[in-house]
Amino acid sequence: MYQYKYPHPSVTTDCVIFGFDGSKIKILLIQRGINPYKDQWALPGGFVHIDETAEEGARRELREETGVEQAEMYQFHTFSAVDRDPRERVITIAYYALVKMSEVRGGDDAKNAQWFALNELPTLAFDHQEIVERAIDELRRSIHFRPIGFDLMPEVFTMSQIQHLYEEILQHTFDRRNFAKKILRLGILVEAETRPENTPTRIPNKYRFDKDAYQALKQSSFMLEF
């Protein structure tokens, strides 16, 4: 047993894991095996160990649930409503992660994990509905400062795939030509496989994300307007 002079809250992390299947943004939920909220869907998460940082805890959870080792993770808010867990005072540090769906495998344990489109979310345990909404807000905000798209995309992708992603996040449709111009002007995309000259075809151009160019761009505090 551990004893303290004053009451201490528990501290957990919860992780909103975003993926993109080429047309819809999805988040990964797990079905709870225990009470409270048994059998309901919830965000992956768990207690922060006493000898790890919140970020380490969140990455551990991400790895356990998805097998993904490298992913962009952002801490976006800490939720501290007094009664958000019926058992005891629990404060949760929330992260969102951007993963390539192709790299995700089922969780280590037998937990039931499943992707849900944002407009088809089930009822969520605890205050996880609020956490998800907040995460979407943050995603929408940070899209102006970070090339978020490329963390969610497969290595090679078409212009219309990435346009769909931006349209999903921003809930707005764009003109194809203008969108391509704007993205290409950033100079962080390279054509993945140049198509032979004389094959006018319906097969779209493929692009790849140029990490070096992006690193250079980041220095100049770029901003992407839509």
Partner DNA sequence: ACAAAAGTGTTAGGCCTACACCCATGA
Partner DNA sequence: TCATGGGTGTAGGCCTAACACTTTTGT
Query: What is the binding site for DNA (CB under 7 A)?
Result: 158-160, 175-178, 180-182, 185, 200-205, 225-226
Among positions 87-106, residues that touch a second copy (CB under 8 A) are 89, 91, 93
Binding partner selected for residue 89 from DNA, a second copy, none, CB under the kind-specific 5 to 8 Å limit: a second copy
- Shortest Å, Cβ 94 to a second copy: 9
Q: Which amino acid is at 161?
A: Q
- Shortest Å, Cβ 147 to DNA: 15
CA 175 to chain centre: 26
The answer to whether 86 contacts a second copy (rule: CB under 8 A) is: no
The answer to whether 10 contacts a second copy (rule: CB under 8 A) is: yes
Burial 182-203, CB ≥16 within 10 A → b, else e: ebeeeebbeeeeeeeeeeeeee
The phi, psi pair for 73, rounded to 5°, reads -125, 135
Per-residue contact track with a second copy, 141 to 160, x per CB under 8 A?
x--xx---------------
The answer to whether 51 contacts a second copy (rule: CB under 8 A) is: yes
81: Cβ–Cβ under 8 A, 6 or more apart, which residues? 127
- Between vectors from CA 37 to CA 36 and to CA 43, what angle results, nearest 5°? 110
Binding partner selected for residue 210 from DNA, a second copy, none, CB under the kind-specific 5 to 8 Å limit: none
- Shortest Å, Cβ 74 to a second copy: 10
- Tell me the C-alpha distance between 6 and 207, whole Å: 57
Closest CA to 80 of 4, 12, 30: 12
Binding partner selected for residue 23 from DNA, a second copy, none, CB under the kind-specific 5 to 8 Å limit: none
Range 75-78, long-range pairs (CB < 8 A, 24+ positions): 76/134, 76/135, 76/138, 77/131, 77/134, 77/138
Residues that bind a second copy (CB under 8 A): 1-11, 47-48, 50-55, 75, 77-78, 80-82, 89, 91, 93, 141, 144-145, 223, 225
